[in-house]
A and B are shown apart, each in its own frame.
Chain A
Amino acid sequence: AQSVTQLDSHVSVSEGTPVLLRCNYSSSYSPSLFWYVQHPNKGLQLLLKYTSAATLVKGINGFEAEFKKSETSFHLTKPSAHMSDAAEYFCVVSGRSGTYKYIFGTGTRLKVLA
């Protein structure tokens, strides 16, 4: 079975400061991991994905994530927050479960303060 846990339901940062959104996963086999962003009234957009290549993954808009197998973590980071980063972020796991369906975390709402 696969699952993903997002450790913070809400995160607030000041503009220009670093962002850290935490995600832990559970999987019986080598997973694929994704981070998606959802802005209000907009569709889910892929930020980045890990598929067993490099453990440090760079995505769009300056985001990156590091796959740490020993810690079963896939935390999302950004060096400097921008007001436009305010949104809901979802960590997702997928794997060789037959249908490659996504298993979503419960989401982290990022608030960026001016």
Chain B
Amino acid sequence: GAGVSQSPRYKVAKRGQDVALRCDPISGHVSLFWYQQALGQGPEFLTYFQNEAQLDKSGLPSDRFFAERPEGSVSTLKIQRTQQEDSAVYLCASSLAEESYNEQFFGPGTRLTVL
């Protein structure tokens, strides 16, 4: 079956613009994660959903970042009033269940460049 897909793959935004990044997880996967990967760094956790419930948003860097998963499948990460420091690759991952030993499957990422 299909893996995790993300769109768009590349996004260029002018500073101050709002952007929306989409994630389609693997069908049937309960858990969904968003990570931010700055250039030359490892990914860092942003937020976690179990079905439609956002159980952890401790990694969101500011209140300009907002994520939702209203029907427990597709998720959208929204960034309002983008800043240059928001430039990064945003990775989405899904997992079949919530146990720690479950592998997370990653999408290809959305590369956001804020000018």
> Which residues does A use to contact B, with CB under 8 Å?
31-32, 34, 36, 41-46, 49, 51-52, 90, 94-96, 98-107
The verdict on A43 contacting B45 (CB below 8 Å), with A51-B101, A94-B100, A98-B56 known, is: no
Of B33, B40, B101, B108, the contact of A101 (CB 8 Å cutoff):
B33
Report yes or no: B48 in contact with A101, Cβ–Cβ below 8 A.
yes
Closest chain B residue, CB of each to CB of A53: B101
> Which residues does B use to contact A, with CB under 8 Å?
3-4, 31, 33, 35, 40-45, 48, 55-56, 59, 91, 93, 95, 98-104, 106-109
Once the chains are docked, how many angstroms separate the CA of A104 from the CA of B93? 14
Report chain A residues within 8 Å CB of B101: 32, 49, 51-52, 94
Tell me whether chain A's interface is mostly helix, strand or loop, or mixed. Answer: loop
Report yes or no: B103 in contact with A46, Cβ–Cβ below 8 A.
yes
Report yes or no: B103 in contact with A49, Cβ–Cβ below 8 A.
yes
Nearest-CB distance from B22 to chain A (Å)? 15
